[in-house]
Structure formats: C-alpha cells, structure tokens
Amino acid sequence: MKKLDILTRLKKAGVIAVVRGETKEEALSACQSIVKGGLKGLELTFTVPQADQVIKELLSIYKDQKDVVIGAGTVLDAVTARLAILAGAEYIVSPCFDKETAELCNLYQIPYLPGCMTIDEMKTALKSGVDIVKLFPGSAYGPSIVTAFKAPMPQLNIMPTGGVSLDNMKDWFDAGVITVGVGGNLLAPAATGDFDKVTEVAQQYVAKLQEIKG
C-alpha cells in the first residue's frame, strides 16, 4: 500500500521542514543541511524556482534512505500537483483545500495535506479522502484548538504549520497532532548562506522530538 507507507513515514518523521528559497541551489542546500541535522521530512514548496527539478534531485540523493520522505508544498492546483507527482513527490501540501487536487492525489495514491482553518473545511477534506489535515496557519489558533476540533471529529489527523517552534512543539503534540510543519526559524539562516546553522537548528528539533516522544 503505497499511500499507507508514505503516511506512516510522515508520522514517523514527526517534524516536516517547509523549505522555501530564492534559488534552486539555496533550496537544495537547505534540504541537505536539514537531513544532515537528522530531520527526515522535507516539503519543498513550489515558490522555489524549478521546484520539480529540486524534488527530482533530492529523490536521487536520498534514494537509499527510505526514512527520508520528500513532498511538494504550496501546491495551488491539480496541474501543479501532477507536475510534482511526476517529478516523484511522495505527498502534496496546499495552503487551502482544492477538490481537483484531492481527486488527482487519490488517483495516484499520494497523500494530500490541504490547509484548513475551520471545522467545515476539515469535514470537506475528510469526505474527499484526505488523511492528514494541515492546520494553517497554526499561529492563528494555538495548540488548544486541536482538542476543540478533535472533540466532534476524533478521527482527524492534524499537522499544524505556521507558528510551530521549539518552545511550543510539545504543546502541539500534547494536544494530539500527528506531526508538525516548521519553516521560518529553521530556514532563516539559509537566506544568508549559513547552512551549518540550519543543520544545528534541525538537530535541536530532533532532540526536542525525541524528548517529546520519549
């Protein structure tokens, strides 16, 4: 079961790094620095120039590391989703729900993680075969909202993105999320070319995750 295997790896990764970059080279270096730091989940956003090529290169680099899971982010429509899937993306992430994209991902047995903010959006996503809902932006709510959403829909698997940090990551997991997406503070050093710092911050996230998961 291709889809189940990918979902299992996403859950095991625990932290998904949301990678942006001004250039293809910056994004590629950032991804390698993140994996070097021990994080196994990469979401390469389609705001990166030639994002599909970056995904292809990453898959080539990590083809022997089965625990590294590589997906595409900021996918706004089904056309972009298909481009990402053909490049080898193992999961698709959107800032909002799109029915055509959900159907396309189902066709290819690829997990689709759409951004949702309301219980109604989450219900619509579940009905369209979505397994993990991206709570976006997480900073608009905070961890306490997870308990509120899961009360009427305990079957919800939630990944908050935006507003997740080393300081509040434990609160999110305590609230019942399946995995978290992190970007800003993890990727900030990449903008100035300090990729060693990216690795260092990634290591901090790995240590925090191990502390949370025991």
The one catalytic residue in 26, 43, 57, 90 is 43
Output the CA–CA distances (angstroms, integers) from residue 122 to 78, 114, 118, 119, 126, in the order listed. Answer: 19, 9, 6, 5, 6
Residue 89 has which token pair? 């993306």
Q: What is the structure's pLDDT at 1?
A: 84
Could you count the other beta carbons within 10 Å of the beta carbon of residue 145?
A: 16
Whole-number Å distance between alpha carbons of 152 and 82:
33
Does 214 fall in a domain? Answer: no
Does 16 fall in a domain? Answer: yes
Does 213 fall in a domain? Answer: no
Q: What is the structure's pLDDT at 214?
A: 83
Report yes or no on whether pTM surpasses 0.85: yes
Q: What is the structure's pLDDT at 56?
A: 98
Q: What is the structure's pLDDT at 157?
A: 98
Structural domain containing residue 152: 2-207
Q: What's phi and psi for 190, nearest 5 deg?
A: -65, -30
Number of domains within the chain: 1
The one catalytic residue in 3, 57, 90, 134 is 134
Annotated active-site residue 3? The verdict is no
The dihedral sign for the CA sequence 41, 173, 103, 7: positive
* CATH code of the domain in which 121 resides: 3.20.20.70
Please report, in tens digits, the pLDDT of each residue of the chain (214 residues total): 899 999 999 999 999 999 999 999 999 999 999 999 999 999 999 999 999 999 999 999 999 999 999 999 999 999 999 999 999 999 999 999 999 999 999 999 999 999 999 999 999 999 999 999 999 999 999 999 999 999 999 999 999 999 999 999 999 999 999 999 999 889 999 999 999 999 999 999 999 999 999 8
Does 48 fall in a domain? Answer: yes
Does 212 fall in a domain? Answer: no
Annotated active-site residue 43? The verdict is yes
